[in-house]
Amino acid sequence: MGDAKGCKAVALRRRATAIFADSLNSQSFNSLYYYTPYGAVVLSYAGKAASKVMEHHRLIILLVNVLSITTSNSPSLNDWSCGLTADDKARLYRLLDGKCSKYRAPVNFCCSLHMDCYKLQLGQRNCDSKLCLCVQKYSENNDSCAPAIVRSCKDARMYGASTYEGILKVAGGNVTKTPGIALKGESARLFREVFEECNDTTLSIKTCALNFNICVKKERSSVCRKYLSECITCGAKLQNSSTCEVALEKLRSSLGKPEDSAWSGSQKLMIWMTFAEILLTIILTGLAIVVPIRRKPQRMVSP
């Protein structure tokens, strides 16, 4: 995310699988693939074995991900900083969709740094170059997302002049409300202090907070705290203020202290619920196979 390292927007994906087989002679059902964020459980019935099972049992198997958890791994459109107008923002946001959505968080940070650079009037060409260098590193993966990733860079170079001149009028370019962040105690207080003292880079600080909140849902606390420290430093360096530097150093010191080396509560919950889903799947499958359905005796019809 930006120049900061250590926290990547790891996509947490969960595919629910539902299978309904209600044909005694069906030959199509051979394997159940139950996908979880931690791997796949495969329940297989092949060839004659499957046919034999279906001859004696009405096979009704329903696998439903009843305990699914949806975890956001990208910023919302309202928190999106790429684009010079509202239409541009929506267009660039949609470009990074599907498999490319994993790049939204880091690219969004690059764009927030770019807007703060404009706000500080550090030179349009300089700011645009920083943006292009920032997003370039994410376009080097061979996954066909590069054109969408570098689009914000090209747009800035082509159309950024008017925005640079009127940056203070751009909606969303100036953040005045302290963003919510998953910190507590001294670290939370020092974060608010940094936000107040580094008030010319509030957009990038807000984006750091958003990305930190995404990070702690999937990574260890120590990893995310290190990311946050590096992320905020990137933005604060633009302001070049002594009071901002002092506040930042206090926060960095606090974030460097070990808070909790164990898994976070949300991570523990996901692991336990995944195990529960796997167990439920096995139980339902076992019941469907070993418990025959009683058939009603046919009435004899007199000739």
To which residue do tokens 């930006």 refer? 2
Q: How do the pLDDT tens digits run along the chain, 303 residues long? A: 444 333 332 222 222 222 222 322 333 333 333 333 333 333 333 344 444 433 433 333 322 222 222 335 788 999 999 987 889 899 999 999 888 998 999 999 999 999 999 999 999 999 999 999 999 988 887 788 999 999 999 999 888 888 888 776 554 556 777 888 888 889 999 999 999 999 889 999 999 999 999 888 888 888 899 999 999 998 888 888 899 999 999 999 999 876 544 445 555 565 666 677 788 777 877 666 555 555 555 565 555
- Token pair of 130, please? 């920083």
Domain boundaries, the chain: 17-63+262-292, 77-255
DSSP 22-45: --TT-----EEEEEETTEEEEEE-
For residue 8, the model assigns a pLDDT of 31
* DSSP for residue 66: T
For residue 299, the model assigns a pLDDT of 60
For residue 138, the model assigns a pLDDT of 87
pTM of the model: 0.61
Asked if 155 and 92 count as a contact pair (C-beta separation under 8 A), the reply is yes
For residue 294, the model assigns a pLDDT of 53
Residues contacting 139, CB < 8 A, separation 6+: 145, 146, 149, 150
* DSSP for residue 99: G
- Token pair of 49, please? 């074995």
Among candidate residues 215, 171, 201, 181, the one with its CA nearest the CA of residue 80 = 171
Read off φ and ψ for residue 39, nearest 5 degrees: 140, -165
Asked if 208 and 181 count as a contact pair (C-beta separation under 8 A), the reply is no
- Rounded Cα distance, 286 and 61, in Å: 9
Among candidate residues 92, 173, 169, the one with its CA nearest the CA of residue 135 = 92
For residue 218, the model assigns a pLDDT of 82
